[in-house]
Structures are given as structure tokens and as C-alpha cells.
Amino acid sequence: MMEIQHPYVLFLGDAADHLAAKTADGVARWRPDWCVGQLRLPGCRADTGLPDVELKTAYRDGARTLLVGVANRGGIISEEWLATLLQALDGGYDIACGLHNRLNHIPRLAERAAALGRRLFDVRHPEVELAVGNGKPRTGKRLLTVGTDCSSGKMFTALSIEREMKNRGMAADFRATGQTGILIAGGGICVDAVVADFIAGAVEWLTPATDDAHWDLIEGQGSLFHASYAGVSLGLLHGAQADALVMCHEPTRTHMRGLPDAALPGLAECIALNERCGRLTNAACRVVGISVNTAAFDDTGAERVLRGIEAETGLPTVDAYRQGAARLVDALP
């Protein structure tokens, strides 16, 4: 991971919507100084706000790695992207990708990269030898962001809390559990890509015992209420052994992401189940606050949504990205 050269060009492919490009979007927001621009194919419906660039000119501007910053459901590398990826290799780029399917398993890419001396980074695929989780108490403090659904702001919230803590001079580190987070943090492990038996163990490995005053701010994944991914969320919750949870929520979602017939859980229900399950490995585990993605609202609308949820749950409720995470940090044990 640490060898991936920046600056990056962010490849958005033919992303069906903006959420599909959330990897590119996250890198653009949290590491704008590492990004020369974005590269989009016809039909792309995502936009990071970075300038659209071409491979050749971006290379002259310093870019050295093409980041595949877009996800299809299921993690397939589409045939439409292949021509661009081959051009990038020809043009001097390494490629980094966070999908399930591996660049290294596509013969035309692997052969071209080998012939040209380029590198293909499949950041979703952990290379570390993992052990199963043991649930034993360990020193240091840990916060985990959890959610009512996928793509509800768990990574942004953890990064916002890290920023706030560092501004206060606290010892804190963002711990990445997904491909975007890894590209932002420079390390981490994709917990949804490990062998299922090792989910909790992977999180224990990622967040080992540390100083009593140090906070690990762990990026959550999925939701205990998501029929596709809840197993990952539960293993993450147990492995995190969290002293504090922050519940992340996207209030305009009409159904669980990718599951048109599945309703979102209520916040109270979701808080209760996360606390109940989290207490298996840390009896003090509790939700200390709510982070709401209010991107769909103007300032007045956002305030109304946040006040409503705060009244409903009795917990400090902020949009950690929009407003900063000060109230969440104030609420920590």
C-alpha cells in the first residue's frame, strides 16, 4: 500500500451515479493535493469536482497512478474500462484498484503491466496473514462508526473525528477498513475482502493495543440491517471492541442501498442492536452520537433534520463533514 505513487488520476469510468464513484470522491475530498484530476468515460454520471484530464497531459503534470475510483455492484471490472486501463499502462501509469475482482487476474492487464514494468495494486486483497479474533480486552480507546445502511457517511465521519481530535492535540488515528479509506490513510485492511472467519481478527490486527489515551477511529462498513453485508458489520463490531460508537445515517434514503424492497431500520432499533452486539466484546460499548449526511439539504433544512433526530434519540446529532465533529468528540467517555 505505502508504495502507491501519487499524484493520482481518478478514473470514474461510466459510473451509474455519484455513489458508485464514492472511492474517487473520498480521495478527492480528503487528499485533493494528491489528485491531478479525474478521467470519465461517456455516460459517466459522477463528478468529483476535480478537472477532467487526459492521461497524457496529466502524466506531464506529474500523475503516476491511475486510481480506479468507481464500483459496480459485486465488484466487477467492466469490459468498457479495459481500453482505458491499457492506455494508462502504455502511458507510464501504475494502476490501483479497490474492487473485488483483481487487476492482476485480467490476463491482458497483467501481461501488459509485466511487459512494461508497471505495477497493479489490488488494494482490497489483504496480503497479511490473519488470525481469528480472540475478543480479549486491550489497551487504548477505540471508536467505530456504524450505520443504518451502507454508504451513510461512516468513513467521512471517522475522518472528521480524526481531524477534530488532531486539532485538539489528541493522539488519534483513522483506521481504514475499505478501499477508499486505505487510499486516504496510506494503509489499512478491507474487512469485507478477508476470508469470512477472519473478519473480527482483521479488525483486532488493524487496531492493536496502544496507549491508554490514544483513540483509534475505525471506519465502519455496511449495517447490521443490510441483508447483503451484515456479517461484515457484526464481525467489525466485535473486533473493534469499541468504547464508543457513532451512528451514521442518510435521511433521504427510501430503501437499503442495493435492495429496493428493504426498508431502513429505525434509529432507535439500530442503536439498540449495535449496542447489544457490541457489548459482547466491550461491556461499556455505547452509541455516543449521531452523524447525519445532510448533503441533500440547505442549511435550514439540515438544522431541522439534525434537531429532529437529536430530539428523537437524545444523542448529540451533527453532520460531521459539514459542521465538524466537535460535539461528537465532546461526548466521548
Query: Could you list the residues that contact a second copy (CB under 8 A)?
Result: 73-75, 100, 131-136, 191-197, 199-201, 224-225, 227-236, 238, 258-259, 261-262, 273, 276-277, 280-281
Q: How far is the CB of 68 from a second copy (least distance, A)?
A: 17
Which residues have CB under 8 Å from 324's CB, separation 6+? 160, 163, 164, 318
Residue 219's nearest CA partner among 195, 187, 194 is 187
Classify 316 as helix, strand or coil. coil
**CB closer to a second copy, 7 vs 231:** 231
**CB closer to a second copy, 9 vs 68:** 68
Query: What's the one-letter identity of residue 165?
Result: M
**CB closer to a second copy, 21 vs 199:** 199
Residue 138: all three cell numbers together: 486491550
**CB closer to a second copy, 60 vs 105:** 105
Q: Which helix (H) or strand (E) holds 174?
A: strand 172-175
Which residues have CB under 8 Å from 271's CB, separation 6+? 247, 287, 313, 315
**CB closer to a second copy, 126 vs 153:** 126
Q: How far is the CB of 278 from a second copy (least distance, A)?
A: 11
Classify 265 as helix, strand or coil. coil
Contact (CB, 8 A) for 220 and 153: no
| Chain Cα centroid distance, residue 200 | 17
Q: How far is the CB of 47 from a second copy (least distance, A)?
A: 26
Q: What is the secondary structure of 219-235 as a DSSP string?
A: PP-S-TT-TTTHHHHHH
Q: How far is the CB of 273 from a second copy (least distance, A)?
A: 7
Q: How far is the CB of 286 from a second copy (least distance, A)?
A: 18
**CB closer to a second copy, 181 vs 201:** 201
Q: How far is the CB of 200 from a second copy (least distance, A)?
A: 6
Report the relative pairing of strands 286-292 and 172-175 from DSSP bridges: unpaired
Query: What's the one-letter identity of residue 4?
Result: I
